[in-house]
Amino acid sequence: MTDQSDAARHAAHAYVDLLERRDWSGLAALLTDDVVYEMPQTRERVRGRDAFLRFNTEYPGDWHLRPRRVIADGRLAALLLDVRVGVEQQDACVWLEMSAQGLISKIIDYWPEPYDPPPGREHLVERW
Amino acid sequence: MTDQSDAARHAAHAYVDLLERRDWSGLAALLTDDVVYEMPQTRERVRGRDAFLRFNTEYPGDWHLRPRRVIADGRLAALLLDVRVGVEQQDACVWLEMSAQGLISKIIDYWPEPYDPPPGREHLVERW
């Protein structure tokens, strides 16, 4: 388990670092041929390394990624990212699955948006 | 690292299970006195075990939680939850931090909502 976790942790760090540096050949080397990328909020799925790389190279905006948490456990990893595009900031939750060969075989991205809290719990919370 | 990870994984599973069963005394025993619960999307924070338990006992709706992924790494854990309230379904991303004594000291919840995909990437994605 520990060796697998170490490999998954390393891949998760490399995934963010290579995206941030737009190192597309480095990123490609991390991925299985048939990697699947899913965005459950829009029910969108991208199949295959070539389409996933193109999705990223075509993604608009001067986006920047900084890992806030990287957690690895066997063949699974999770990343909490600080994402910035200009002055806009958003957190992203990313879930990775590794193949038996230590390549990333599945990526699930969540992009939670700010919203107004529902009324009725003001007595229990503080805002920041 | 492995012992800590095992303890964090156990606490993460117990956290969901005890919430689902509304076992408030069992849940209380998992938490530090000064546990902090944060919802970054609304910038809300609940401080302390008593307030956090009350937040949950007062939370409206017949909600049900099912863990889809539980990942633990040292003192950190991440959970991907399937949350249902009646026929409504939503995924939640939960990040846990453990104290040196193996209690949950911080909880960060993200509640990503569905949204429409932006135009311009239809050639790369399939929908489900």
Q: B15-26 pLDDT, tens per residue?
A: 999 999 999 999
Record: contact A112-B110, CB cut-off 8 A: yes
Name which of A54, A71, A75, A83 to mutate to probe chain B: the one with the most chain B Cβ atoms within 10 A of its Cβ: A71
CATH number for position A97:
3.10.450.50
pLDDT in the model for residue B1: 55
pLDDT in the model for residue B110: 98
- Chain B residues near residue A127 by CB distance under 8 angstroms: 42-45
- Chain A residues near residue B9 by CB distance under 8 angstroms: 73
| Lowest model confidence (mean pLDDT) among A57-61, A109-113, B32-36, B53-57 | A57-61
pTM score, whole prediction: 0.96
What is the count of structural domains for chain A?
Answer: 1
Q: State how far residue A97 is from chain B, nearest Cα, in angstroms.
A: 11
pLDDT in the model for residue B38: 98
Q: Is A58 within a domain?
A: yes
pLDDT in the model for residue A2: 74
- Mean pLDDT on A71-100: 97
- Mean pLDDT on A119-127: 93
Residue from the list B72, B91, B120 with its beta carbon closest to the beta carbon of A110:
B91
- Distance from C-alpha of B90 to C-alpha of B42, rounded to nearest angstrom: 17
| Chain A, chain B: beta-carbon pairs less than 8 Å apart | 130
Q: Where are the alpha helices (DSSP H) in chain B?
A: 2-20, 24-28, 49-57
- Distance from C-alpha of B90 to C-alpha of B123, rounded to nearest angstrom: 27
CA A48 to chain CA centroid, Å, is 16
Residue percentage of chain B with pLDDT more than 70 = 99
> A120 vs A77, which has greater pLDDT?
A77
Q: Is A78 within a domain?
A: yes
| Model confidence at A37: pLDDT above 70 | yes
ipTM over 0.90: yes
Nearest chain B alpha carbon to A111 = B112
Domain extent for B27: 3-113
| Model confidence at A1: pLDDT above 80 | no
- Distance from C-alpha of B12 to C-alpha of B10, rounded to nearest angstrom: 5
Q: Is B51 within a domain?
A: yes
pLDDT in the model for residue A111: 97
Q: Is B78 within a domain?
A: yes
- Chain B residues near residue A107 by CB distance under 8 angstroms: none
Q: Is A119 within a domain?
A: no
